[in-house]
Amino acid sequence: MGINRRQMGLGLLATGIGGTAAYSLLSDGDLAALVTGQHADPIDLWGFIGGEKADFIRNPQVVAHLKRAHGLTIDARRAGSVEMVSEQQIFGQGADFLWPSSSVMVEMARQHGVPVRRDQVIFNSPIVLYSWLPIVQALMAEGIVEERKPDFFVVDLKRLIEAVIEGRSWASLGVDRLYGQVIINATDPTKSNSGFMFAGLVANLLSDGVATTDGIGRHLDAIDHLFERMGYKEHSSGKLWNSYLNEGMGGKPLVIGYENQLIEFVLGQPDSWSRIRTSPMRPVALYPEPTVYSAHPLLSLNQNADRLIAALKDPVIQDMAWSDHGFRGQLGGAGNADLGIPGVPSQLDLIAPMPDARVMVAVLDSMRSLSTL
Protein backbone atom coordinates (compact mmCIF):
# COMPACT_ATOMS: atom_id res chain seq x y z
CA MET A 1 0.00 0.00 0.00
CA GLY A 2 1.16 3.55 -0.72
CA ILE A 3 -0.47 5.08 2.38
CA ASN A 4 2.12 5.87 5.02
CA ARG A 5 1.47 6.22 8.73
CA ARG A 6 1.84 9.98 8.63
CA GLN A 7 -0.95 10.22 6.02
CA MET A 8 -3.14 7.97 8.10
CA GLY A 9 -2.50 9.98 11.25
CA LEU A 10 -3.25 13.25 9.50
CA GLY A 11 -6.45 11.80 8.07
CA LEU A 12 -7.66 10.76 11.52
CA LEU A 13 -6.59 14.07 13.05
CA ALA A 14 -8.46 16.00 10.37
CA THR A 15 -11.55 13.95 11.12
CA GLY A 16 -11.33 14.70 14.83
CA ILE A 17 -10.87 18.47 14.57
CA GLY A 18 -13.31 19.11 11.74
CA GLY A 19 -15.67 21.19 13.83
CA THR A 20 -13.35 22.83 16.33
CA ALA A 21 -12.85 26.01 14.36
CA ALA A 22 -16.51 26.87 14.79
CA TYR A 23 -16.11 27.09 18.57
CA SER A 24 -13.42 29.73 18.28
CA LEU A 25 -16.25 32.09 17.36
CA LEU A 26 -17.82 31.67 20.81
CA SER A 27 -17.00 33.66 23.93
CA ASP A 28 -15.86 31.82 27.05
CA GLY A 29 -19.25 32.45 28.61
CA ASP A 30 -21.11 31.13 25.57
CA LEU A 31 -18.93 28.03 25.48
CA ALA A 32 -19.47 27.36 29.17
CA ALA A 33 -23.21 27.65 28.68
CA LEU A 34 -23.09 25.21 25.80
CA VAL A 35 -21.03 22.67 27.73
CA THR A 36 -23.08 22.80 30.94
CA GLY A 37 -26.46 23.01 29.29
CA GLN A 38 -27.44 26.02 31.40
CA HIS A 39 -29.87 27.56 28.95
CA ALA A 40 -33.00 29.50 29.74
CA ASP A 41 -35.60 27.50 27.89
CA PRO A 42 -36.08 23.88 26.88
CA ILE A 43 -36.37 23.43 23.13
CA ASP A 44 -37.56 20.79 20.68
CA LEU A 45 -35.28 19.99 17.75
CA TRP A 46 -35.83 17.80 14.73
CA GLY A 47 -33.58 16.55 12.00
CA PHE A 48 -32.36 13.63 9.92
CA ILE A 49 -29.97 10.94 11.12
CA GLY A 50 -28.32 7.87 9.63
CA GLY A 51 -30.25 4.72 10.57
CA GLU A 52 -27.27 3.22 12.42
CA LYS A 53 -27.78 5.85 15.16
CA ALA A 54 -31.52 5.25 15.57
CA ASP A 55 -31.21 2.97 18.60
CA PHE A 56 -28.82 5.39 20.26
CA ILE A 57 -30.99 8.49 19.82
CA ARG A 58 -34.07 6.71 21.19
CA ASN A 59 -32.23 5.05 24.08
CA PRO A 60 -34.40 6.04 27.10
CA GLN A 61 -31.32 7.01 29.14
CA VAL A 62 -30.01 9.20 26.33
CA VAL A 63 -33.43 10.81 25.87
CA ALA A 64 -33.74 11.49 29.61
CA HIS A 65 -30.23 12.94 29.97
CA LEU A 66 -30.58 15.24 26.96
CA LYS A 67 -33.82 16.57 28.39
CA ARG A 68 -32.73 16.82 32.02
CA ALA A 69 -29.19 18.15 31.59
CA HIS A 70 -29.54 20.10 28.35
CA GLY A 71 -33.22 20.95 27.95
CA LEU A 72 -33.40 19.17 24.58
CA THR A 73 -36.12 16.98 23.12
CA ILE A 74 -35.07 15.39 19.83
CA ASP A 75 -37.24 14.20 16.95
CA ALA A 76 -34.86 12.22 14.74
CA ARG A 77 -35.99 10.92 11.36
CA ARG A 78 -34.07 8.39 9.30
CA ALA A 79 -32.48 9.21 5.96
CA GLY A 80 -29.47 7.95 4.05
CA SER A 81 -26.36 10.03 4.72
CA VAL A 82 -25.77 10.81 1.05
CA GLU A 83 -29.44 11.62 0.50
CA MET A 84 -29.73 14.02 3.42
CA VAL A 85 -26.85 16.23 2.25
CA SER A 86 -27.46 16.08 -1.50
CA GLU A 87 -31.22 15.93 -2.11
CA GLN A 88 -33.00 19.24 -1.66
CA GLN A 89 -36.34 17.58 -0.95
CA ILE A 90 -34.77 16.23 2.25
CA PHE A 91 -32.48 18.97 3.56
CA GLY A 92 -34.88 21.65 2.36
CA GLN A 93 -37.65 20.61 4.76
CA GLY A 94 -36.53 23.03 7.45
CA ALA A 95 -34.72 20.60 9.74
CA ASP A 96 -32.67 21.94 12.64
CA PHE A 97 -29.82 19.49 12.11
CA LEU A 98 -28.45 16.73 9.91
CA TRP A 99 -26.44 13.86 11.35
CA PRO A 100 -24.80 11.84 8.57
CA SER A 101 -22.07 9.27 9.03
CA SER A 102 -19.01 10.63 7.24
CA SER A 103 -16.95 13.81 7.44
CA VAL A 104 -16.95 13.91 3.64
CA MET A 105 -20.67 14.68 3.91
CA VAL A 106 -19.88 18.08 5.43
CA GLU A 107 -18.10 19.16 2.26
CA MET A 108 -20.77 17.60 0.08
CA ALA A 109 -23.50 19.37 2.05
CA ARG A 110 -21.91 22.75 1.46
CA GLN A 111 -21.44 21.96 -2.24
CA HIS A 112 -25.17 21.24 -2.50
CA GLY A 113 -26.16 24.47 -0.75
CA VAL A 114 -27.05 23.07 2.68
CA PRO A 115 -26.91 26.04 5.12
CA VAL A 116 -24.40 24.45 7.52
CA ARG A 117 -23.85 26.72 10.51
CA ARG A 118 -21.48 24.50 12.49
CA ASP A 119 -20.24 20.92 12.27
CA GLN A 120 -18.60 18.64 14.79
CA VAL A 121 -17.61 14.98 14.74
CA ILE A 122 -19.47 13.25 17.59
CA PHE A 123 -18.59 9.55 17.14
CA ASN A 124 -16.39 7.28 15.07
CA SER A 125 -16.94 3.71 13.95
CA PRO A 126 -14.57 1.83 11.64
CA ILE A 127 -15.83 0.12 8.52
CA VAL A 128 -15.58 -3.66 8.85
CA LEU A 129 -16.52 -6.72 6.84
CA TYR A 130 -18.97 -9.16 8.41
CA SER A 131 -18.86 -12.84 7.56
CA TRP A 132 -19.42 -16.27 9.12
CA LEU A 133 -16.96 -18.57 10.85
CA PRO A 134 -16.78 -21.30 8.13
CA ILE A 135 -16.00 -18.66 5.49
CA VAL A 136 -13.43 -17.01 7.75
CA GLN A 137 -11.71 -20.35 8.33
CA ALA A 138 -11.51 -20.95 4.56
CA LEU A 139 -10.15 -17.45 3.94
CA MET A 140 -7.55 -18.00 6.66
CA ALA A 141 -6.36 -21.11 4.82
CA GLU A 142 -6.04 -18.96 1.67
CA GLY A 143 -4.01 -16.33 3.52
CA ILE A 144 -6.68 -13.66 2.99
CA VAL A 145 -7.66 -13.47 6.68
CA GLU A 146 -5.33 -13.56 9.69
CA GLU A 147 -6.29 -14.03 13.35
CA ARG A 148 -3.93 -11.53 15.02
CA LYS A 149 -5.26 -12.08 18.53
CA PRO A 150 -7.99 -14.39 19.83
CA ASP A 151 -11.14 -13.45 17.87
CA PHE A 152 -9.47 -10.40 16.29
CA PHE A 153 -9.45 -11.02 12.54
CA VAL A 154 -7.73 -8.86 9.92
CA VAL A 155 -8.68 -9.20 6.24
CA ASP A 156 -6.62 -8.44 3.13
CA LEU A 157 -9.53 -6.62 1.53
CA LYS A 158 -7.67 -5.82 -1.67
CA ARG A 159 -7.19 -9.53 -2.43
CA LEU A 160 -10.84 -10.17 -1.69
CA ILE A 161 -11.94 -7.30 -3.94
CA GLU A 162 -9.72 -8.61 -6.73
CA ALA A 163 -11.35 -12.04 -6.37
CA VAL A 164 -14.77 -10.44 -6.89
CA ILE A 165 -13.64 -8.36 -9.88
CA GLU A 166 -11.99 -11.41 -11.46
CA GLY A 167 -15.19 -13.43 -11.06
CA ARG A 168 -13.62 -16.14 -8.92
CA SER A 169 -15.86 -18.80 -7.41
CA TRP A 170 -16.35 -19.51 -3.74
CA ALA A 171 -14.94 -22.99 -4.37
CA SER A 172 -11.68 -21.44 -5.64
CA LEU A 173 -11.32 -19.81 -2.20
CA GLY A 174 -12.00 -23.07 -0.40
CA VAL A 175 -15.64 -22.31 0.48
CA ASP A 176 -17.27 -25.46 -0.90
CA ARG A 177 -20.57 -24.85 0.91
CA LEU A 178 -21.40 -21.80 -1.23
CA TYR A 179 -22.38 -21.86 -4.89
CA GLY A 180 -21.38 -19.39 -7.57
CA GLN A 181 -19.05 -16.42 -7.62
CA VAL A 182 -17.70 -14.41 -4.69
CA ILE A 183 -19.68 -11.28 -3.87
CA ILE A 184 -19.50 -8.64 -1.17
CA ASN A 185 -22.75 -6.91 -0.23
CA ALA A 186 -22.86 -3.21 0.65
CA THR A 187 -25.54 -0.56 0.74
CA ASP A 188 -26.22 1.72 -2.24
CA PRO A 189 -23.34 4.26 -2.16
CA THR A 190 -25.54 6.91 -3.78
CA LYS A 191 -27.94 6.71 -0.82
CA SER A 192 -26.27 5.24 2.25
CA ASN A 193 -23.01 5.98 4.01
CA SER A 194 -21.65 2.48 4.68
CA GLY A 195 -21.73 1.74 0.93
CA PHE A 196 -20.29 5.20 0.29
CA MET A 197 -17.43 4.57 2.73
CA PHE A 198 -16.77 1.16 1.20
CA ALA A 199 -16.58 2.74 -2.26
CA GLY A 200 -14.01 5.20 -0.90
CA LEU A 201 -11.99 2.42 0.72
CA VAL A 202 -12.07 0.42 -2.54
CA ALA A 203 -10.89 3.50 -4.45
CA ASN A 204 -7.96 3.82 -2.04
CA LEU A 205 -7.02 0.15 -2.24
CA LEU A 206 -7.10 0.09 -6.04
CA SER A 207 -5.06 3.32 -6.11
CA ASP A 208 -2.44 1.93 -3.69
CA GLY A 209 -2.89 5.09 -1.66
CA VAL A 210 -5.47 7.80 -1.13
CA ALA A 211 -7.44 8.08 -4.38
CA THR A 212 -7.00 11.39 -6.22
CA THR A 213 -8.93 13.29 -8.86
CA ASP A 214 -6.08 12.69 -11.33
CA GLY A 215 -6.04 8.93 -10.86
CA ILE A 216 -9.59 7.86 -10.03
CA GLY A 217 -10.64 7.61 -13.69
CA ARG A 218 -8.46 4.51 -14.12
CA HIS A 219 -10.45 2.62 -11.47
CA LEU A 220 -14.06 3.65 -12.06
CA ASP A 221 -14.87 0.64 -14.26
CA ALA A 222 -13.56 -1.78 -11.62
CA ILE A 223 -15.49 -0.04 -8.84
CA ASP A 224 -18.66 -0.04 -10.94
CA HIS A 225 -18.23 -3.74 -11.67
CA LEU A 226 -17.72 -4.57 -8.00
CA PHE A 227 -20.99 -2.87 -7.05
CA GLU A 228 -22.86 -4.22 -10.09
CA ARG A 229 -22.09 -7.74 -8.93
CA MET A 230 -24.05 -7.13 -5.73
CA GLY A 231 -27.42 -6.88 -7.47
CA TYR A 232 -30.05 -5.13 -5.37
CA LYS A 233 -28.51 -2.88 -2.73
CA GLU A 234 -30.25 -1.77 0.45
CA HIS A 235 -30.59 1.98 1.09
CA SER A 236 -29.96 1.61 4.82
CA SER A 237 -27.05 0.17 6.80
CA GLY A 238 -29.50 -1.05 9.43
CA LYS A 239 -31.57 -2.97 6.87
CA LEU A 240 -28.48 -4.62 5.40
CA TRP A 241 -27.34 -5.64 8.89
CA ASN A 242 -30.73 -7.20 9.60
CA SER A 243 -30.61 -9.05 6.27
CA TYR A 244 -27.17 -10.37 7.16
CA LEU A 245 -28.44 -11.77 10.46
CA ASN A 246 -31.69 -13.12 9.02
CA GLU A 247 -30.39 -14.66 5.79
CA GLY A 248 -27.24 -16.17 7.26
CA MET A 249 -24.24 -17.50 5.40
CA GLY A 250 -26.17 -18.65 2.35
CA GLY A 251 -27.83 -15.31 1.67
CA LYS A 252 -25.28 -12.81 2.92
CA PRO A 253 -21.82 -14.39 3.13
CA LEU A 254 -19.84 -11.11 3.17
CA VAL A 255 -21.36 -7.79 4.20
CA ILE A 256 -19.94 -4.31 4.69
CA GLY A 257 -20.99 -2.63 7.93
CA TYR A 258 -19.93 -0.64 10.98
CA GLU A 259 -18.05 -2.12 13.92
CA ASN A 260 -20.66 -0.80 16.33
CA GLN A 261 -23.43 -2.90 14.74
CA LEU A 262 -22.12 -6.17 16.15
CA ILE A 263 -21.24 -4.51 19.46
CA GLU A 264 -24.74 -3.08 19.74
CA PHE A 265 -26.25 -6.49 18.91
CA VAL A 266 -24.15 -8.24 21.57
CA LEU A 267 -24.96 -5.63 24.22
CA GLY A 268 -28.63 -5.31 23.33
CA GLN A 269 -29.41 -9.00 22.86
CA PRO A 270 -27.15 -10.86 25.31
CA ASP A 271 -29.34 -13.99 25.37
CA SER A 272 -29.20 -14.32 21.58
CA TRP A 273 -25.46 -13.73 21.57
CA SER A 274 -24.83 -16.29 24.31
CA ARG A 275 -26.56 -18.90 22.13
CA ILE A 276 -24.60 -18.19 18.96
CA ARG A 277 -21.16 -17.05 20.17
CA THR A 278 -19.86 -20.64 20.37
CA SER A 279 -21.76 -21.82 17.31
CA PRO A 280 -19.80 -23.03 14.25
CA MET A 281 -21.99 -20.63 12.26
CA ARG A 282 -21.43 -17.52 14.37
CA PRO A 283 -21.02 -14.05 12.82
CA VAL A 284 -17.48 -12.67 12.67
CA ALA A 285 -16.14 -9.13 12.19
CA LEU A 286 -13.15 -8.78 9.85
CA TYR A 287 -11.09 -5.59 10.11
CA PRO A 288 -9.56 -4.31 6.84
CA GLU A 289 -6.06 -2.93 7.18
CA PRO A 290 -6.14 -0.09 6.53
CA THR A 291 -9.76 0.72 7.12
CA VAL A 292 -11.56 4.03 7.10
CA TYR A 293 -13.36 5.60 10.02
CA SER A 294 -16.98 6.44 9.58
CA ALA A 295 -17.07 9.72 11.48
CA HIS A 296 -20.48 10.98 12.55
CA PRO A 297 -20.49 14.78 12.22
CA LEU A 298 -23.51 16.67 13.46
CA LEU A 299 -24.40 19.60 11.19
CA SER A 300 -26.31 22.37 12.92
CA LEU A 301 -28.46 24.40 10.54
CA ASN A 302 -29.52 27.06 13.06
CA GLN A 303 -28.47 28.48 16.41
CA ASN A 304 -30.73 26.21 18.46
CA ALA A 305 -29.07 23.12 17.03
CA ASP A 306 -25.67 24.36 18.25
CA ARG A 307 -26.85 23.22 21.69
CA LEU A 308 -27.21 19.68 20.41
CA ILE A 309 -23.55 19.60 19.36
CA ALA A 310 -22.48 20.52 22.90
CA ALA A 311 -24.97 18.10 24.47
CA LEU A 312 -23.74 15.13 22.43
CA LYS A 313 -20.16 15.84 23.54
CA ASP A 314 -21.28 15.54 27.18
CA PRO A 315 -19.08 12.79 28.75
CA VAL A 316 -22.19 11.05 30.07
CA ILE A 317 -23.61 10.83 26.55
CA GLN A 318 -20.25 9.71 25.14
CA ASP A 319 -20.01 6.94 27.74
CA MET A 320 -23.52 5.71 26.90
CA ALA A 321 -22.70 5.78 23.20
CA TRP A 322 -19.81 3.37 23.78
CA SER A 323 -21.11 1.18 26.59
CA ASP A 324 -24.60 0.70 25.09
CA HIS A 325 -24.06 1.10 21.35
CA GLY A 326 -20.37 0.59 20.55
CA PHE A 327 -19.66 4.05 19.10
CA ARG A 328 -16.08 5.17 19.60
CA GLY A 329 -15.23 8.71 20.63
CA GLN A 330 -14.11 11.65 18.54
CA LEU A 331 -10.53 10.38 18.16
CA GLY A 332 -11.48 6.77 17.51
CA GLY A 333 -10.53 5.21 20.83
CA ALA A 334 -12.68 2.83 22.81
CA GLY A 335 -14.61 4.22 25.77
CA ASN A 336 -13.82 3.74 29.44
CA ALA A 337 -16.06 0.71 29.92
CA ASP A 338 -14.71 -2.78 29.20
CA LEU A 339 -17.47 -4.29 27.08
CA GLY A 340 -16.17 -7.82 27.56
CA ILE A 341 -16.51 -8.60 23.84
CA PRO A 342 -13.60 -10.68 22.51
CA GLY A 343 -11.89 -9.37 19.40
CA VAL A 344 -12.86 -5.69 19.73
CA PRO A 345 -9.58 -3.73 19.70
CA SER A 346 -9.20 -0.76 22.02
CA GLN A 347 -7.50 1.20 19.23
CA LEU A 348 -6.94 0.69 15.51
CA ASP A 349 -3.55 1.75 14.19
CA LEU A 350 -3.92 1.71 10.42
CA ILE A 351 -6.58 4.21 9.42
CA ALA A 352 -6.65 5.75 5.94
CA PRO A 353 -8.30 9.07 5.16
CA MET A 354 -11.26 8.98 2.83
CA PRO A 355 -10.79 10.42 -0.67
CA ASP A 356 -11.99 14.00 -0.87
CA ALA A 357 -15.45 15.02 -1.99
CA ARG A 358 -14.42 15.61 -5.61
CA VAL A 359 -13.17 12.03 -5.93
CA MET A 360 -16.26 10.60 -4.27
CA VAL A 361 -18.58 12.67 -6.48
CA ALA A 362 -16.78 11.19 -9.52
CA VAL A 363 -17.31 7.67 -8.12
CA LEU A 364 -21.01 8.31 -7.46
CA ASP A 365 -21.57 9.97 -10.84
CA SER A 366 -20.05 6.95 -12.57
CA MET A 367 -22.38 4.60 -10.71
CA ARG A 368 -25.43 6.77 -11.42
CA SER A 369 -24.62 6.94 -15.13
CA LEU A 370 -24.30 3.17 -15.21
CA SER A 371 -27.75 2.74 -13.62
CA THR A 372 -29.37 4.84 -16.37
CA LEU A 373 -28.02 2.74 -19.25
359 and 239 in a common domain = yes
26: containing domain: 17-123+296-325
154 and 78 in a common domain = no
Quote the radius of gyration of the chain (alpha carbons, Å). 20
165 and 61 in a common domain = no
89 and 185 in a common domain = no
**Residue-by-residue pLDDT tens, the chain, 373 positions:** 444 433 444 343 344 334 444 433 443 334 444 554 454 489 999 999 988 899 999 999 999 999 999 999 999 999 989 999 999 999 999 999 999 999 999 999 999 999 999 999 999 999 999 999 999 999 999 999 999 988 999 999 999 999 999 999 999 999 999 999 999 999 999 998 999 999 999 999 999 999 999 999 999 999 999 999 999 999 888 899 999 999 999 999 999 999 999 999 998 898 988 888 888 899 999 999 999 999 999 999 999 999 999 999 999 999 999 999 999 987 666 666 677 787 888 888 888 899 999 999 999 999 988 665 4
CATH of the domain at 274: 3.40.190.10
152 and 76 in a common domain = no
* Beta bridge partners of residue 132, listed in sequence order: 283
217 and 243 in a common domain = yes
Q: How many domains does the chain have?
A: 2
300 and 278 in a common domain = no
Contact 87, 364 (CB under 8 A): no
* CA dihedral for 126, 289, 250, 339, sign (positive or negative): negative
* Beta bridge partners of residue 373, listed in sequence order: none
* Among 49, 51, 94, 45, residue whose Cα is nearest residue 66: 45
Contact 154, 287 (CB under 8 A): yes
Give the distance, in angstroms, between the CA of residue 292 and the centroid of all CA atoms in the same chain: 8
Q: Name the pairing type of β-strands 293-300 and 283-288.
A: unpaired
308: helix, strand or coil? helix
* Beta bridge partners of residue 86, listed in sequence order: none
320 and 216 in a common domain = no
Contact 194, 337 (CB under 8 A): no
* Among 77, 78, 52, 56, residue whose Cα is nearest residue 65: 56
pLDDT of residue 334: 65
Give the distance, in angstroms, between the CA of residue 289 and the centroid of all CA atoms in the same chain: 15
Contact 39, 307 (CB under 8 A): yes
161 and 273 in a common domain = yes
Measured distance CA(121)–CA(20) in Å, rounded? 9
* Among 132, 61, 175, residue whose Cα is nearest residue 277: 132
254 and 211 in a common domain = yes
Contact 325, 59 (CB under 8 A): yes
pLDDT of residue 371: 61
Q: Does residue 316 form part of some domain?
A: yes
The amino acid sitting at 108 is M
267 and 137 in a common domain = yes
DSSP 8-state class, residue 371 = H
pLDDT of residue 35: 52
Contact 347, 154 (CB under 8 A): no
Q: Does residue 142 form part of some domain?
A: yes
Measured distance CA(156)–CA(352) in Å, rounded? 14
Q: Name the pairing type of β-strands 293-300 and 145-149.
A: unpaired
Q: Does residue 6 form part of some domain?
A: no
pTM over 0.75: yes
pLDDT of residue 64: 96
pLDDT of residue 332: 63
Contact 254, 130 (CB under 8 A): yes
49: helix, strand or coil? strand
- What DSSP line would sit under 92-143, residue for residue? TT--SEEE-S-THHHHHHHHTT----EEEEEEEEEEEEEEEHHHHHHHHHTT
pLDDT of residue 333: 67
356 and 243 in a common domain = yes
Q: Does residue 8 form part of some domain?
A: no
Q: Does residue 332 form part of some domain?
A: no
Q: Does residue 333 form part of some domain?
A: no
